Amino acid sequence: MSMDFTGRVAIVTGAGGGLGKQHALALAARGAKVVVNDLGSASDGSGGSASAAEAVVAEIRAAGGEAIANGASVTDAAAVEAMVKQAMDAWGRVDILVNNAGILRDKSFAKMDLADFALVMNVHLMGAVHCCKAVWPIMAAQKYGRIVMTTSSSGLYGNFGQANYGAAKMALVGLMQTLSIEGAKNDIRVNCLAPTAATRMTEGLMPEEVLRALRPEAVVPAMLVLAAQDAPTRAILCAGAGSFEAANITLTRGVWLGSGEQVPEALAARLDEVRERSGEMVPQSGAAQGSHEVGQAMAHAAKTSASA
């Protein structure tokens, strides 16, 4: 697998610090020209300054790389379009998009203000949508694109106090699943990265020795693999502290119960069998679930007919 990004142009959002900064530095070190996007806000989304993005650009240039700073908010579709135009004006193409920008507004669901729920969804989900929408026609025209969504274990598996964040992060998985199908004909590969990393968003949440193990640099290899020319598509890679795993949305083999008044009771009685994971599959599209279910019904009908 080629880890050389020479000639490629990458946009990394939320790249003024933490994980996004390490993504930008790594791509630039391997030859990519990088748009370093960062609103420069606090971890809760308040405030804003271009200085963080400019500092990363200066670091890349000092190391001999090429980069430009951009301070657009990913929630502003017009500003995102302008950011992509900035990349096109400078370098004539966009090959890689790393959707990394995000904020936290943590609280238990009972105490969470709906405005904080909506804001987190807007930044994480609609921010990624705006960026994908802006680069999509470019990637389609050049018949090449690599998009990395930043999901989270909070979305995949849940986390107390993060209903808004978790909902947004799981939504990105759904976005990835469909975009990877739609982008296949133009070699646009779309994947998700679920990082465990110590950044300013995790300060004070973990012991110091754990934070040291979870340095953002340890996640970067997974991003590089997902952004590379030989990247997979529709993968969910998890990474943290030097460990790498894959997550999948699976479908069990299930049980055919037919229809009728007693099916609810029958389903309740056999729920453990329905949830049994041996032989589970990873469907290649949403239609696969329906195909499997119809297949189960047809198999039952054939068996009934044969025994009649």
Catalytic-labelled residue, pool 83, 154, 165, 196? 165
**Cα(119)–Cα(101) distance, integer angstroms:** 13
Q: Between the CA of residue 85 and those of 27, 77, 88, 102, 187, what are the distances in Å? A: 20, 12, 5, 22, 22
Reported as type and span, the H/E element at residue 225 is helix 220-227
Kindly write down the DSSP assignment for every residue of 188-217, as one continuous string. Answer: EEEEEEEE---STTTTTSS-HHHHHHT-GG
- Torsion sign over Cα 221, 227, 229, 234: positive
List Cβ neighbours of 70 (8 Å cut-off, separation of 6 or more): 35, 36, 37, 38, 53, 83, 86
List Cβ neighbours of 228 (8 Å cut-off, separation of 6 or more): 1, 2, 3, 5, 146
Q: Which two tokens stand for residue 87?
A: 């990349």
Q: Which two tokens stand for residue 115?
A: 């405005």
**Cα(36)–Cα(261) distance, integer angstroms:** 59
Contact 171, 151 (CB under 8 A): no
Contact 247, 194 (CB under 8 A): yes
- How far out from the chain centre does Cα 30 lie? 22
Q: Is 165 a catalytic residue?
A: yes
Q: Which residues are catalytic?
A: 165
